Amino acid sequence: MLEFWREGTMSVVTVATLNLFNKMGRWDERLPMVVEQMAALQPDVIGLQEVVIADQGTTICRLTNDRLAGQPPYRIYHMARPGEGASVEALAVMCRLPVEAHEGLDYLLHDCVAQRLRLRLGEETTLDFYNTHLYFPPSATQERLTQARRLLAWVDTWAGATATVVVGDFNAYPEEPTVALMKTRFASAYEEAHGREPDKTWPTPVNTFDPSPPGCLDYVFVAGARVLDAALAFDVPHPSDASLYPSDHLGVMAKLDTR
């Protein structure tokens, strides 16, 4: 990242996604773990879902910047859910790249939204970064497919970026039509790196009440960039409590070459 600021260009970027599970499930204990693992990963841009808009994202951003003092700071960009959830829950992107635009999309279905930022990587290089959270429960396959179609139509309204990344909690298992649709336009970074999707990104023991089948629900989709590496993130439990993780989801990260 410092190379970007010295030379005015950047070709390799680290992107990530994490559903925070808002403030449920021992949040006071999870917060230091999120910050610690964020500072260790140091993504250039990360999409967060289930963010309590009042203070959760801004607190993570501030504490991470404190941990990384002297490095280019993160800024956070929120997109609230519509309707009754507007004052409660949002998407958020933490980013330390120059941002040229920030917009939101209302899916007009189940109060779900998406957000996108155009990021400047160099004089002639940009990255369009999309963050989303599709509808739950597992049975709602048609609703998620409708949302994914609307998302891809929105992607088509922006043109000219060097690379495009779509991240988030899709609430869709790899065999679902929503994931198949996304893969008609994008490569899944984890699958590119490992030949398959992870066994699961949800749940961790933090979630004690949802009986839905475990599996991979979180993705980093990439177009216009080469995947150098991809892995699970925010996947380290507390050293003295194996039931405590940063969230009820595991994150996904990818290192991308946009040359």
Sign of CA dihedral 227, 230, 139, 22: negative
pLDDT at position 88: 80
The more confident residue out of 53 and 187 is: 187
User: What mean pLDDT is predicted for residues 32-45?
Assistant: 98
Quick one: tokens of 145? Answer: 């497919």
Q: Confirm if 185 and 149 have CB atoms less than 8 A apart.
A: no
User: What mean pLDDT is predicted for residues 182-202?
Assistant: 98
Main-chain phi, psi angles of 5, to 5 degrees? -70, -30
CA distance 75 to 61: 7
User: What mean pLDDT is predicted for residues 86-114?
Assistant: 95
CB within 8 Å of 227: residues ≥ 6 apart: 187, 189, 192, 193, 254, 255, 256
Whether the pLDDT of residue 6 is over 50: the answer is no
- Residue 85 DSSP class: G
Whether the pLDDT of residue 194 is over 70: the answer is yes
Determine what percent of the chain is predicted with pLDDT higher than 70. 97
User: What mean pLDDT is predicted for residues 126-153?
Assistant: 98
Alpha helical stretches, state H, the chain: 2-7, 27-41, 56-67, 141-155, 177-182, 189-194
User: What mean pLDDT is predicted for residues 69-78?
Assistant: 96
Whether the pLDDT of residue 233 is over 70: the answer is yes
Q: Confirm if 227 and 244 have CB atoms less than 8 A apart.
A: no
Min mean pLDDT across 9-13, 119-123, 251-255 is at: 9-13
3-state helix, strand, coil in the chain (%, to 5): 25, 35, 40
Q: Confirm if 155 and 134 have CB atoms less than 8 A apart.
A: no
pLDDT at position 8: 59
Smallest CA-to-CA distance from 221 within 10, 49, 11, 17 is with: 17
Indicate the SS3 state at residue 3. Answer: helix
pLDDT at position 4: 43
pLDDT at position 256: 98
Q: What is the mean pLDDT of the chain?
A: 95
- pLDDT-derived band of residue 149, with 50, 70 and 90 as boundaries? very high
User: What mean pLDDT is predicted for residues 103-124?
Assistant: 96
pLDDT digits (tens, 9 = 90+) for 119-135: 999 999 999 999 999 99
Whether the pLDDT of residue 244 is over 50: the answer is yes
DSSP-assigned letters across all residues of 125-168: EEEEEEEEE---STT-HHHHHHHHHHHHHHHTTS---SEEEEEE
The more confident residue out of 176 and 3 is: 176
- Torsion on CA atoms 220, 225, 231, 233, rounded to nearest 10: -60
pLDDT at position 5: 40
Query: Domains in the chain and their CATH numbers?
Result: 12-257 (3.60.10.10)
